[in-house]
Amino acid sequence: MNSSPGVPYRVAEFYAVGGFHYAFLQSGTSSSTPEEDGVVASIDVNTNTTAIYLHNFPSTNQMRRNICGMTASELDSFRANVFFLSPPCQPFTRQGSQRDNQDRRTDSFFHLMHILQEMQCPPDYVLMENVKGFECSNTRDEFGRVLQSLGYKFQEFLLSPSQFGIPNSRLRYYLLAKRKPLTFAHEEHSGVGQPSPITDPEIIIKALQSNMQSLGSLSCNKDIEDSI
């Protein structure tokens, strides 16, 4: 992920426990000027979660809020050009009843999709994470429609840390969206409008290496890839 030259990343982190914040810092994409480049707002409804977040990142503008009550103008006020989204995964998890958009725990995500469309300045980038199972949900299809209608291109991936040499088997769905005219380094992997989860770690590593200098030493575990 590279911002336009000279334009710093200003991230709003929704459903924020802090994992994305750490990942962002470790990705090497954040510069050292937190006022202009960094996580400028984080939002979560849970008291314990927000306390943990504040403990780890005391200078972040942390909001204990229900996303269902947020407005488009509030989102605009963050002046964020990146949104990190990690909505509740219970409606999609393979071990659950997979009620998808019939599960009230998707309400806040649908609200977010709604107010995203009302924003004056939607973010240039959206990064979303969820469990395997999300890629074949109605919620995912609606999110794709919303992104497309707002002029985003997006790519989807199913990835596990074990594919990157990390001893943790945790297959997850990731969606990256960039607002036109921004483009992807590997456009051929765009899957707009239809599920196209990509599981080839070599492709991901190539894309990451072309975007993030600090990930140059990652290696791929082909055996694990083949077993997915």
Residues serving a catalytic function are 89
Can residue 86 be called a binding residue for ligand SAM (CB under 6 A)? yes
Identity of the residue, 20 or 154, whose beta carbon is nearer to ligand SAM in the bound complex: 20
Can residue 18 be called a binding residue for ligand SAM (CB under 6 A)? yes
- Residue 185, Ramachandran bin (φ over 0: left; ψ between -120 and 50: alpha; else beta): alpha
Question: Buried (b) or exposed (e) across 14-44, using 16+ Cβ within 10 A?
Answer: bbbbbebbeebeebebbeeeeeebbbbbbbb
Can residue 66 be called a binding residue for ligand SAM (CB under 6 A)? yes
Please tell me whether residue 84 adopts helix, strand or coil conformation. strand
Letters for 102-141 (x = contact with ligand SAM by CB under 6 A, - = none) are: ------x--------------------x------------
Q: Six-digit token pair at 152? A: 């985003």
Among 1, 17, 40, 147, binds ligand SAM (CB under 6 A): 17
CB of 206 to ligand SAM, least distance (A): 25
Can residue 54 be called a binding residue for ligand SAM (CB under 6 A)? no
Can residue 92 be called a binding residue for ligand SAM (CB under 6 A)? no
Can residue 67 be called a binding residue for ligand SAM (CB under 6 A)? yes
Question: By Cβ distance, which residue is nearest to ligand SAM?
Answer: 19
Q: Hey, what amino acid is at 51?
A: A
CB of 228 to ligand SAM, least distance (A): 21
Residues 166-185 touching ligand SAM, rule: CB under 6 A, are none
Identity of the residue, 70 or 220, whose beta carbon is nearer to ligand SAM in the bound complex: 70
Can residue 161 be called a binding residue for ligand SAM (CB under 6 A)? no
Strand residues in the chain grouped as ranges (E) = 10-14, 38-44, 62-64, 82-85, 125-131, 152-159, 172-179
Identity of the residue, 30 or 209, whose beta carbon is nearer to ligand SAM in the bound complex: 30
Own/partner pairs, 110-115, CB within 8 angstroms, 24+ separation: 110/139, 110/142, 111/67, 111/68, 111/70, 112/14, 112/67, 112/70, 112/85, 112/87, 113/142, 113/143, 113/146, 115/70, 115/71, 115/72, 115/75
Q: Give the list of residues 6+ apart from residue 97 with CB closer than 8 angstroms, or none.
A: none
CB of 215 to ligand SAM, least distance (A): 19
- Residues engaged in binding ligand SAM (CB under 6 A): 15-20, 43-46, 49, 66-68, 86, 88-89, 108, 129
